Chains A and B, each alone.
Chain A
Amino acid sequence: MADADESPIVLPDDPSFGPEVQVDYPGYRSTRWRAPKRPLVSLPEELHELAGPVFGPQALGPLDHDLTRQHEGAPLGERIVVHGRVVDEDGRAVRGALVEVWQANSAGRYHHVVDQHPAPLDPNFTGAGRCLTDDEGRYRFVTIKPGSYPWGNHENAWRPAHIHFSLFGHAFTQRLVTQMYFPGDPLFVFDPIFNSVRDPNSRALLVSRFDIDATQPEWALAYEWDIVLGRGGAGTTPLEEQS
């Protein structure tokens, strides 16, 4: 343990990683016994699975997109709108993508039995949402701004505020699980999970943009966050290119 505990929590930037996260990032302690150590086996191009699961509206409940209306009362915290577009690397809209989100409440506590952070639970906030992207690849959630919380990875470790995102595009290769952060968080420079994306330009893609135009007067601040998935591969040509 001594070795790992003495390694730096945050490594210097390294643009050579590009969009790839460093899966054995030493500052994030849980990677140590969990990240695969052997090189990944490359499949020949023709054996790559291209199709992937596709979800329809039956996957959604009526209020799944609004995390502030899933209980009798309104949750405490700063109400926000989080929206953006899901596109592929060629900038084409990914339609009908299932977007799932989960997050801590405004006090920085998850509605989960394992989370024992001594911050209050909010009976009016579960912190889970789902939606499908529209024809332009757009998604939109209403929620409250999650709080930061301590996580025990190292002395005085606090996660920057974030919302977890899970996406299914059209193709197997477009599966993505990631986290959206908020602009200007002072905890960025101390967080090994955020910094496990070692290319600073790629890391910046995890940070949403405050959006005054989508901010709704007297009601909610808005943040915009676009998501870029890998290419869909054969058989996933968007509808506009098939005609």
Chain B
Amino acid sequence: MTLPRTPSQTVGPYYAIGLCRRAENELAPRSAQGAVQLIGQLLDGEGTPIGDGMIELWDAAGKRWGRSGTDGDGRFSFVVTKPDPGPDGAPRFDAFVFARGLLRHQLTRIYFPDEAEANARDPVLSSLAEADRETLIAVQENSAMRFDIRMQGDRATVFFAH
């Protein structure tokens, strides 16, 4: 017997009441060795910041989880340390994107800019065209890592079926 799944609905614009009641955006203490800020902007198909979105990060290797709402400029922010690499690939975070206007959350992956060799070996990254691969690799920005998420357009972030 298979039961039909309960369908998804949007988080809507007021998700912060329920989902951002406490700060949950530090996957590692700020004082931890190698701790960096992971920042980024969530952008719609016109390049307009999405100010009512939310990103959830999951480090499957280290079983660490966190989330950050976006501010009026579409910006989110985490404190992270680099996850251990999975058995078959490069270190990465899985990321879910939620927003008003997204009827179901979208899945993407965040890889590290200083892991060129491991990234080249990663089975998921290497299965993608060059331009798509780039959408999944954060860039170094001063002392932080920056990962912008574009929902649509020529440089749209790759989203995975889930």
Contacts and interface: CB of A to CB of B under 8 A. Distances in A.
Interface stretch (A71-79, A108-116, A132-140, A212-220): A108-116
Contacts of B1: 90-91
B101 interface: yes
Contact of A19 (B5, B11, B89): B5
Q: Is chain B's interface secondary structure helix, strand, loop, or mixed overall?
A: loop
Contact of A176 (B8, B15, B94, B132): B8
A166 B18 contact: yes
A111 B17 contact: yes
Given A102-B19, A112-B14, A51 B3 contact: no
A37 B60 contact: no
A20 interface: yes
B3 A91 contact: yes
A52 B4 CA distance: 22
A172 B60 contact: yes
Contact of A89 (B3, B18, B65): B3
B3 A228 contact: yes
B140 interface: no
A102 B17 contact: yes
B43 to A, nearest CB: 9
B60 A206 contact: no
Interface in A22-53: 22-23, 25, 28-38, 40-44, 47-49, 51-53
A189 interface: no
Contact of A35 (B8, B52, B65, B102): B102
B128 interface: yes
A102 B60 contact: no
A172 B103 CA distance: 18
A221 interface: no
A127 B60 contact: no
A34 B101 contact: yes
B112 interface: no
A110 B3 contact: no
B128 to A, nearest CB: 7
Contact of B151 (A33, A111, A164): A33
Contacts of B152: 33-37
A203 B2 CA distance: 17
Task: Indicate the member of B9, B14, B160 with the most A CB atoms within 10 Å.
Answer: B9
Given A33-B44, A33-B151, A47-B124, A90 B2 contact: yes
Interface of B: 1-19, 21, 44-46, 48, 50, 52, 56, 58, 60, 63, 65, 88-89, 94, 96, 98-107, 123-124, 128, 132, 151-152, 156, 158-162
7 contacts: A21-B103, A34-B152, A36-B152, A37-B156, A90-B1, A164-B18, A173-B162
Interface of A: 18-23, 25, 28-38, 40-44, 47-49, 51-53, 87-91, 100-102, 110-112, 114-115, 126-129, 164, 166, 172-173, 175-179, 193-194, 196-197, 201-203, 205-206, 227-230
